[in-house]
Structure 1
Amino acid sequence: MSNPSFSQSKSKLINALSAGDLLQAGELAEQFMLRFPDKPEAHYFSGLHSLLAQENGKAVQQLEVALGFDDKNLNVLLNLGVAYQRLGKMDAATQAYLAVLAIVPVNIQALINLGSCHYQKKSFLECKEAFSKAASLAPDNSTVISGLADAERSLGNWRKAIQLYKRAITINPDDERANNNLTLMHLNLQHHGQVKEAARKAIEKNPDNIDAYIALGRAHIAEEGYEEGMDTFASAFEKKPEHPELLTAIGNNYLNIGDHSEASSWFNKALSLDSSLPVAILGMAQCLDKHDLHGQGIALLNENAESLSSLPQYWVTLSDLYWNEGEADEALRCLEKASALAPQQASLYCKMGGILSSSGNMEGADACFRQALAEQEDCIGAISGLATLKKSSLEASHVQKAHELLEKDALPDGAKGSLHSALSYYYSGNKDFSSAVAHMAEANRFQWASRVRQGWEYQQDSHQQVVATNKQLFTRQLIETGQQIGHSSDMPVFIVGMPRSGTTLTEQIMARHPSVLGVGERNYAVIALQAYQHLYAEKFSLGHAEAKKRSLTEPDSDLLHRVAEEYLTSLREQIEKANKPGVRYVVDKMPDNYMNVGWIKLLFPNASIIHARRDMRDVAISCWQTQFGMIRWACHIKHLVARFEGYLEMMAHWQNVCPDGFMNADYEVLIDDQESGSRKLLEHIGLPWDDACLKFYESDRLVRTASITQVRQPIYKTSVAKWAPYEELIPELIHPLSALMKVYR
């Protein structure tokens, strides 16, 4: 039998390729090449077979040879571009597609491929240009319209992207990519009802659509349906247990419910399948943030900046890390980057508003909250932010909107808590105390219900046990021992007390002095204690529990000095960052350090400790009204009262064992005679008076606490005895504290 002719061989090969029979096509392509090595078609079809078989390097070799025969062959150029693109050679792929368009400017496939290539290169303007040209030529091509939507989404034009995805779906209802991306857009814009509807329809059409399951689960979680979200993810996991994005979504849900270690394990599973998966890397950074390893989280994101910096969530996560690290300027810069990428995302403006209000830029904060409302008229974070800023002067339209939103049955508990909190500020500012109290109670009820689903609990007895342990460990003798073996530095200054007791005001006054730097609320003292106990366990080969006790009852001078030097290094780094070289003292205003006075006196016996005191009834009302992000004892009145009792017991002990170890600074004294009270603060740490301290409110320092508005204006006396109108409205809170006040001062 004679050998098949060139045309017969070519026809058989084309039929095998068309039928998707890659095994037969491979054999035929090899035979074709052996018989006709001087024919460009032999190299082209060999390259095409390699491309279909995902052998992209081999495909490039053969297609480049074919192109040598005819450098204007459109099919060769198009497939060569695809091979380059798969290999990550984007510049070469771009040139191949441009070569096609130079020959045939209206080639739709070349425009689609070029747009796709630019999208992978994150050249979104060029991507939009390519798909726009294609759309003008093929307005009914769903692939083209979806590609244009992707470009608009990446450029931050989310509403335009939504319209384009809808148009693509109208053209082709089965366009899974358009359906999935439309669902994602609704999720980003917090249209959770629409997300769930779209995701369920997508799953009905394709029960194996894992992206739709992920979107549905995320929508449930956004509405605080953590169990429903996990059930959805579990259904998807049964179908595809090695889907990296699904594993990451599961990890994120564990983050939401406070199980950070479990979250880390799921992110690690995802990264084992795809080491460059953006959402998994971001998840790991968030886990580090939750474990107070902010610096490590920042380092992780900086290492991956090249691949992640085009994502708004990258900048949001980095902003959170910087904020929790105390780098508020960097946090704001990151949010500005995020909003440039996603200008229609309302939550970004809310975050920016919070930081600007902390820096005293109330006009800027107001503008950000209003921009959030412009993007999303029912943005609860913006309404809450404006209420905190304006209180009684909150516009009637916003008050009405808050009431309207509270009527929505589907509103998550956390959102209800925020709205009730906002209304409590408004009504208390207008002296409608009865309404204010009602909203305070509802705000705490809903906040607690929301946080319980995130894993919150509060063991009232645990705080009392720590108080008892401290009283037993830190005797007068141990405090005196610290004078002999502790570090001699007096650079650290500690302001301790209850939250809302005037710690921020005290710090602001002191930080206006050129020799003082305020660094806000830092965990340095606790971190130093943990480091010391760890080193002690290693040095003396002890278990953790034994080392925890013996390290304090039998302190080691060498280890204390080692840990103290690391502590001082952290303070010097803060001085360098603040560009304030004349600093002599660094103030840490972590209120909860009232539990650590004994440890502080052991580590730094010469450190100044200032006890910020305020009428506990005013403190309690303020705590009851404030929705703290981390404090768990402020949502229930019985927890509040018990916390004050433990605090008083702890401070009485410190007063007994180190009566000269700290200064009591009364908030009411500062309010009544600011200059006299401020002078005493500076005298306590050995500094001369500076008139700048009288204008504490002019500081450009960023305040990271709930005391924003109080420290951004001159002293005002209406903050004294704020509890009085509430005495008979919340007797279960005020009356026990009135009794405690008799022994407080």
Structure 2
Amino acid sequence: MADLATIKQLTFAGRHQECLHACQEALREAPEEPLFYKHAGKSLLALGQVEQARHYLVKAHHLDKKDPETVKDIGNCLNAVHNYEEAIKSYKHALSIDPNYSPALNNLAIYARQSGQIKESIELFNKAIRSQPEFLAAYLNISGSFRELGQLDKALTATLKAIELKPDHVDAHINLGTILQEQGQLDQALAATLKAIELKPDHVDAHINLGSILIRQGQLDQALTATQKAVELNPNYADAHMNLGSILIRQGQLDQALTATQKAVELNPNYADAHMNLGGILLKQGELDQALTATLKAIELNPNLANAHMHLGSILIRQRQLDQALTATQKAVELNPNHTDAYTLLGMIHEMKGDLRKGKDLFNKSLELNPSNLWSSYEMSKNLESTDEAISILSLIKRVPMMNRSSNDIIWFGLASSNCHHRLKDYGNSAKYLVEANNVKIKLFPSAKSELISLTKELLGEVNEQSFASSSSGEGRIFIVGIPRCGSTLTESILSINPLALGLGETGALPQAANELRSHNQNLTPKTLEGLYLNILNISLTADSITLDKNLYNYMHAGIVACNMPAAKIIHCRRNPLDNILSLYRSNLQGNNYTCSLEDSAEVLISQEQAMLHYKRLFPASIYTLNYKDLANHPRDEIQRLLLWLGWEWDECYLEPNKSTRTIHTASVIQARQPINNKSVGAWKNYAEMLEPARRILIESGLFDDEI
């Protein structure tokens, strides 16, 4: 029969199966010895046989009611089966036997922290430490409580004490790395985490933490390797998949990031951060409804996630709900007053609402908090008021280390640099940075120009003179069409001065109505395009209401509109094609990925021009061609001609659209807030070398010889 000393040695050594057999053998000889039941229970609990462990421990307690350790272990059994209330009672029972019993104090402190009673948990941990000054677990646990209170220095001191007590304690080194990372001491954090991996190479949390540190150091490839190792070690660990998705987002690998993040949500449906990241990915992919659902779920799970509220603001901007976007983004700042990206987003919202000064102040606030925020630098560079400002921003961004930066950072760096050099009339360097930024972007977001061109050709063949429309159908409906950056925002701003005009923005109502009309016609159902269009818009209109639809890609549907809404007006905005392509290339347009390629932009522009020439031959009375050069050089004459064509009365106010307080959602927001001017007319000549490939394509089309 094994003696008690041998059994204790087996317990201490973690040889639980041997200890259990020894205890069972000993109990045959001494069935009333509580210590044999106690150690058998400890071994069974360590082996995961909770109910059997509890049976042995209860027997031990009946035999010796003065042993607090046995009662504490009964509490551990109850905790293992999630019977937390009874577990707490057991720990308190242990303390009634010995008020200074440190393991029970430690366990009660853990419960206090989990229930949000952080200060109470610290008091209990400290009491456990006073009772047992070398209680390593209590030092690690109190460190966690200090971290939750933001008292990182105290957390660091407690963790270093744990390492002093046991220099090879893996979790202590992981804890040390986490605290140092939160303090911004990344090199020391890296050393601590690598030490943990050296001690235990298969510790999944150590590899996750290593990936997080490497992300902050900008070493994305190494971070990816570390996080993939964590996934390999534990494929069912939601944190590992979520972190993997975060790295892939920064690398611009959105499809892979989506897969990794969806896996994290699948493994832990209540993982608020994973839902938040999922929303961010879907937003980047243009899936706004799905992005909104994921982001709202994140906020439901954790209302204090500042990034989730900022993502919500970004989604609402894209959905043109600026007031709601402002509220959501302000909530992000309220939750985290140092959230530099939230200040950047707030600045963009205020610019869209017409307050350029407020926008610039918010960008400056973001840069005060984080001078390396390239997004804010880029937004600042879009509204440079002086050469000194351009020099200042260039100086700022050139101090930002670019090694292993995210793809977005590289794009913002390039575009901000280009804007500053453009303001300084250093067009050679401006072109260089433009090309670099757009080359990165088009690798992330393929062009899709072929789909646009194919759809344009397909719709050309669908124009059908036969319709159910009356001659008055479409009265008051105005469609502004063309290629982005063609002067359409200025045109919309001018027309919006009419008090009867309602700006719809870039609504998708017309393409949807046209698709429904095709379906109805196939079923011989007498529906009108205007009826379908207004039904989709779902807005209240009076008899004299005027709508301004600025979905530029409605040029594809110009023929369908002219056939089915004969009284509607179509304004085709045109610009020197090379000025237009240059502006596209400089604008970082979201969702118009062909604009990252000069050649693709030229091909899309040609396709649009060919379609509009065809429709103008068929429906000359329905389409007005507005030339941006004429509007910029002779605004009074051109606006009067346009208003005459529309049948509107002249008013001097139309010459000052910059004074309008209307909301502007497009990339032309800065230009639209300026007085009408011709500063950008002929700007392409400063970039003639860069634009040469596009120029050749335009000339070969035979459409633009007299304009370039």
After TM superposition, the score normalised by the length of structure 1 is: 0.74
Distance in structure 2 (CA, Å) of the matches to 1:226 and 1:254: 9
Contact 2:160/2:176 (<8 A) preserved:
no
Distance in structure 2 (CA, Å) of the matches to 1:286 and 1:396: 33
Distance in structure 1 (CA, Å) of the matches to 2:217 and 2:90: 57
Match of 1:671 among 628, 632, 639: 632
Distance in structure 2 (CA, Å) of the matches to 1:603 and 1:77: 83
Contact 1:532/1:559 (<8 A) preserved:
no
Aligned to 1:336: 330
Aligned to 1:50: 77
Aligned length: 659
Distance in structure 1 (CA, Å) of the matches to 2:400 and 2:640: 49
Contact 1:399/1:423 (<8 A) preserved:
yes
- 1:31 maps to a residue whose letter is K
Secondary structure of 2:478's partner? Answer: strand
Distance in structure 1 (CA, Å) of the matches to 2:108 and 2:87: 20
Distance in structure 1 (CA, Å) of the matches to 2:405 and 2:449: 30
Aligned to 1:426: 420
Asked if residue 175 in structure 1 is aligned to residue 160 in structure 2, the reply is no
Aligned to 2:537: 571
* CA deviation map 1:196-228 (0-9, x unaligned): 777655544443443454455567778998876
Bigger relative CO (Cα 8 Å, ≥ 6 apart): 1
Contact 1:444/1:636 (<8 A) preserved:
no
Match of 1:710 among 644, 650, 671: 671
Distance in structure 2 (CA, Å) of the matches to 1:77 and 1:201: 29
Distance of aligned partners of 1:403 and 1:690 in 2 relative to their CA distance in 1, 3 Å threshold: same
Distance in structure 1 (CA, Å) of the matches to 2:287 and 2:368: 36
Aligned to 1:448: 439
Distance in structure 2 (CA, Å) of the matches to 1:68 and 1:193: 46
Query: Which stretch of the first structure deviates more once superposed, 266-275 or 127-136?
Result: 127-136
Match of 1:594 among 544, 555, 558: 555
Structure 2 gaps, min length 5: 1-26, 131-137, 164-170
Aligned to 1:401: 396
Match of 1:645 among 589, 594, 606: 606
Contact 2:306/2:335 (<8 A) preserved:
yes
Contact 2:442/2:597 (<8 A) preserved:
no
Distance in structure 2 (CA, Å) of the matches to 1:558 and 1:324: 35
Aligned to 2:54: 26
Aligned to 1:86: none
Aligned to 1:524: 509
* CA deviation map 1:648-687 (0-9, x unaligned): 2222122123222322222233334445544555555555
Distance in structure 1 (CA, Å) of the matches to 2:622 and 2:396: 52
Aligned to 1:541: none
Aligned to 1:437: 428
Q: Report the CA distance between 1:11 and its aligned residue.
A: 5.0
Asked if residue 499 in structure 1 is aligned to residue 494 in structure 2, the reply is no
Distance of aligned partners of 1:209 and 1:361 in 2 relative to their CA distance in 1, 3 Å threshold: farther
Distance of aligned partners of 1:598 and 1:18 in 2 relative to their CA distance in 1, 3 Å threshold: same
Contact 2:121/2:145 (<8 A) preserved:
no
Contact 2:282/2:288 (<8 A) preserved:
yes
* CA deviation map 1:540-573 (0-9, x unaligned): xxxxxxxxxxx8xx65563865x86564345335
* CA deviation map 1:519-558 (0-9, x unaligned): 333333444556667xx4xxxxxxxxxxxxxx8xx65563
* CA deviation map 1:611-630 (0-9, x unaligned): 11222232222223233333
Distance in structure 1 (CA, Å) of the matches to 2:61 and 2:280: 55
After TM superposition, the score normalised by the length of structure 2 is: 0.77
* CA deviation map 1:40-69 (0-9, x unaligned): 9899568515324x2233x63586599799
1:58-77 aligned at under 5 Å gives the runs: 60-61=85-86
Aligned to 1:362: 356
Q: Report the CA distance between 1:505 and its aligned residue.
A: 1.1
1:510-589 aligned at under 5 Å gives the runs: 510-528=495-513, 536=519, 555=522, 558=525, 561=528, 567-572=533-538, 584-589=545-550
Aligned to 1:87: none
* CA deviation map 1:85-111 (0-9, x unaligned): xxxxxxxxxxxxxxxxxxxxxx88766
Query: Which stretch of the first structure deviates more once superposed, 390-399 or 677-686?
Result: 677-686
Query: Which stretch of the first structure deviates more once superposed, 351-360 or 318-327?
Result: 351-360
- 2:487 maps to a residue whose letter is G
Instruction: Give the structure with higher Rg (CA).
Output: 2
Query: Which stretch of the first structure deviates more once superposed, 461-470 or 268-277?
Result: 461-470
Distance in structure 1 (CA, Å) of the matches to 2:683 and 2:118: 59
Q: Report the CA distance between 1:366 and its aligned residue.
A: 1.8
Aligned to 2:615: 654
Aligned to 1:719: 680
Aligned to 2:9: none
Contact 1:355/1:702 (<8 A) preserved:
no
Distance of aligned partners of 1:303 and 1:650 in 2 relative to their CA distance in 1, 3 Å threshold: same
Contact 1:421/1:440 (<8 A) preserved:
no
Q: Report the CA distance between 1:396 and its aligned residue.
A: 3.4
Identity %: 19
Q: Report the CA distance between 1:281 and its aligned residue.
A: 2.3
Q: Report the CA distance between 1:710 and its aligned residue.
A: 1.0
* CA deviation map 1:464-500 (0-9, x unaligned): 44443333x134xx1x224649994546532111221
Q: Report the CA distance between 1:337 and its aligned residue.
A: 1.4
Asked if residue 610 in structure 1 is aligned to residue 571 in structure 2, the reply is yes
Distance in structure 2 (CA, Å) of the matches to 1:232 and 1:260: 19
Distance of aligned partners of 1:349 and 1:49 in 2 relative to their CA distance in 1, 3 Å threshold: closer
* CA deviation map 1:123-144 (0-9, x unaligned): xxx7479659978998994433
Distance in structure 1 (CA, Å) of the matches to 2:257 and 2:565: 38
- 2:458 maps to a residue whose letter is T
Query: Which stretch of the first structure deviates more once superposed, 314-323 or 674-683?
Result: 674-683
Asked if residue 307 in structure 1 is aligned to residue 301 in structure 2, the reply is yes
Structure 1 gaps, min length 5: 80-106, 119-125, 153-159, 537-550
Distance of aligned partners of 1:175 and 1:365 in 2 relative to their CA distance in 1, 3 Å threshold: farther
Contact 2:215/2:247 (<8 A) preserved:
yes
Query: Which stretch of the first structure deviates more once superposed, 27-36 or 378-387?
Result: 27-36
Secondary structure of 1:634's partner? Answer: helix
Aligned to 1:145: 143
Distance in structure 2 (CA, Å) of the matches to 1:599 and 1:201: 69
Distance in structure 2 (CA, Å) of the matches to 1:77 and 1:365: 56
Contact 1:648/1:744 (<8 A) preserved:
no
Match of 1:625 among 582, 586, 606: 586
Q: Report the CA distance between 1:310 and its aligned residue.
A: 0.9
Distance of aligned partners of 1:655 and 1:244 in 2 relative to their CA distance in 1, 3 Å threshold: same
Aligned to 1:350: 344
Distance of aligned partners of 1:45 and 1:309 in 2 relative to their CA distance in 1, 3 Å threshold: closer
Distance of aligned partners of 1:393 and 1:70 in 2 relative to their CA distance in 1, 3 Å threshold: closer
Distance of aligned partners of 1:675 and 1:221 in 2 relative to their CA distance in 1, 3 Å threshold: farther
Q: Report the CA distance between 1:697 and its aligned residue.
A: 2.1
* CA deviation map 1:290-338 (0-9, x unaligned): 5655345434544553322211221122122211111122223222211
Q: Report the CA distance between 1:502 and its aligned residue.
A: 0.9
Distance in structure 1 (CA, Å) of the matches to 2:238 and 2:94: 43
Secondary structure of 1:633's partner? Answer: helix
Secondary structure of 2:149's partner? Answer: helix
Distance in structure 2 (CA, Å) of the matches to 1:287 and 1:700: 33
After superposition, the CA RMSD in angstroms is 4.7
Contact 2:91/2:107 (<8 A) preserved:
no
